[in-house]
Structure 1
Amino acid sequence: MNETRARILDVALDVLGENPEAGMGDIASAAGVVRRTVYGHFPSRLDLVRTLTERAVTEMTALFAEVNASPAEADTMWAQIVARVWPVAHRYRALLALRRGEFGDVIHGLLGPVDELLAEIVKRGQDSGVFARHLPAAILSQVAYGTVFAIADSFRSNGPQGARAATITSLLMLGVPETRAIDLAGDQP
C-alpha cells in the first residue's frame, strides 16, 4: 500500500509538472491505477497537493538547515543551496505553478519554514554587505528563489546547464556581481 502511495506521489509530480491543471484521473491513468485507488490515498486533489508540498518542505528544510549551519559567506551558502536543491526544485517545480493557483494559500503556509530559512540567509548576506538591500530580505529571498524554480520549469530535463544558470541568475538577483556569481557557480553541473 505504501508502495502504491509513493508511486502515485511520484507520478503526480511528473503529471502536474507537465500540466498543473491535470486532474486526479490523469494522475491515476499515468500511475497505472484506477481513480478509486488515488482517492483511497488522497481523498481530494488538495490532500494530494498538501502531501506533495509537505514532502518538498521536508526535503528542502533538511538541505537548507545543513547549509545554514555553515560558517561560509552568504553568497557561498546560496550557491551551495542551489546546487543541493536543484534536483529537488526540478522535481517539485509543479508547486510553483500550483502556488499561484487555487492551492496558493495552503502551499504558501506549508512552505513557511523554507521561506524563513531563505530569508535568514539573505538577511545575513545583507548585513554583511554581500547581498543588495533594495528589498527586504523576506521578499528578496523569494525573488531569487523563485528564479531557481522558474529556471527549473524552463529546463524540463534536469540538465547541467539549468543548475548553473539557476545559481548564477539567482545570485545576480541577490545583487552579487556577475564575476563573483560565475566564480561561485564554478564548474557546477
Structure 2
Amino acid sequence: MAATREKTPAKRADAQRSIEAILDAAVRCLSRNPDASVSEIAKAAGVGRVTVYGHFPNRADLVDAALRRAVEEGHAGLDAVDLEGDPREALARLIVSSWQLVSQSRLLLIAAQDVLPPGRIRELHAGPVERIERLVERGRDEGVFRVDLPTTWLVGVMHSVMHGAADEINAGRLTQDKAAGYISATLLAAFAPPAQLPRK
C-alpha cells in the first residue's frame, strides 16, 4: 500500500506535465494553422494521440483548453497596462496591447469559432471584457466617452473592430503594421460623445 501511495503524486505530476506540454503545443500549432490536427499537436507535444485523447476526449475540448490558456496568459499580460490618467489615453494603450494579443491568437480564434459555440467564446473572454468595461465606465463618468450607448455595446464594438481587423489581415486587405493605428482611430471616434465629434 505504501508503494502505491508513493507513486500517486508522481503519476499526477507526470500527467500535469503531459497536459501542459499538450496545451503549449496546441496553442503553437493552432496559432499557425487553425486546421491543425490532433496528430500534429500530439507530435509537437512529444506524445502520442492516445495520450492527448486521454486528457482531451475530442478536438473541440482541446481547442477549448488551448483558447482558455491563451486568454488567461493574455489577461495576465494586460494587467501590466497602465489604465490610469486620461481614459482616452488609457484606452489607446489598452487597444495597442489588446491588439497584439488578438493578432497573435487570431488563427487560434478561427479554430475555436469552427468548433465552439459563440457563447463559450464570450465566456472565455469574460476577464478581459471586465477590464474594458471598468475603463469605459470611468470614461463615461468623466465625460470623455459617450453615454448615449450602453457600455456593453461599446465593449462589443471594440471586440468587433479588433476581430474585423484580424479578418482583414487574413484576407490580405490590411497589413499588420497599420492595424493598431486603424483600430485606435476607429474606436476613439466611436467612443467619443457626439458633441465632441467634428460637425459636417
TM-score range, shorter-chain basis?
A: 0.5 to 0.7
- Which residue of the partner structure matches residue 183 of structure 2? 169
- Give the alignment of 1:85-104 within 5 angstroms: 85-98=98-111, 100-104=113-117
- Which residue of the partner structure matches residue 81 of structure 1? 94
- The structure with more radius of gyration: 2
Where 2:138 maps in the other structure, the secondary structure is helix
Q: Per-residue deviation at 1:29?
A: 4.5
Matches of 1:139 and 1:99 in 2, distance apart?
23
Residue pair 1:147, 1:169 contacting (<8 A) in 2 also: yes
Matches of 1:151 and 1:11 in 2, distance apart?
26
Gaps of 5+ in 1: 178-189
Gaps of 5+ in 2: 1-13, 192-200
Matches of 2:121 and 2:23 in 1, distance apart?
16
Matches of 2:112 and 2:135 in 1, distance apart?
22
Q: Tell me, yes or no, if structure 1 residue 20 matches structure 2 residue 34.
A: yes
Q: Per-residue deviation at 1:107?
A: 2.4
Q: Tell me, yes or no, if structure 1 residue 36 matches structure 2 residue 50.
A: yes
Q: Per-residue deviation at 1:92?
A: 2.2
Matched AA of 2:53: Y
Q: 2:130 aligns with which of 79, 93, 116?
A: 116
- Which residue of the partner structure matches residue 11 of structure 2? none
Q: Deviations over 1:106-149 (max 9, x none)?
A: 22222212212212222322333333446422122122133334
Q: Tell me, yes or no, if structure 1 residue 137 matches structure 2 residue 151.
A: yes
- Give the alignment of 1:145-160 within 5 angstroms: 145-152=159-166, 154-155=168-169
Residue pair 1:61, 1:114 contacting (<8 A) in 2 also: yes
Matches of 1:44 and 1:9 in 2, distance apart?
14
Matched AA of 2:109: L
> TM-score, length-normalised on structure 1?
0.67
Matches of 2:46 and 2:55 in 1, distance apart?
14
Matched AA of 2:110: A
Where 1:172 maps in the other structure, the secondary structure is helix
C-alpha RMSD of matched pairs (Å) = 3.3
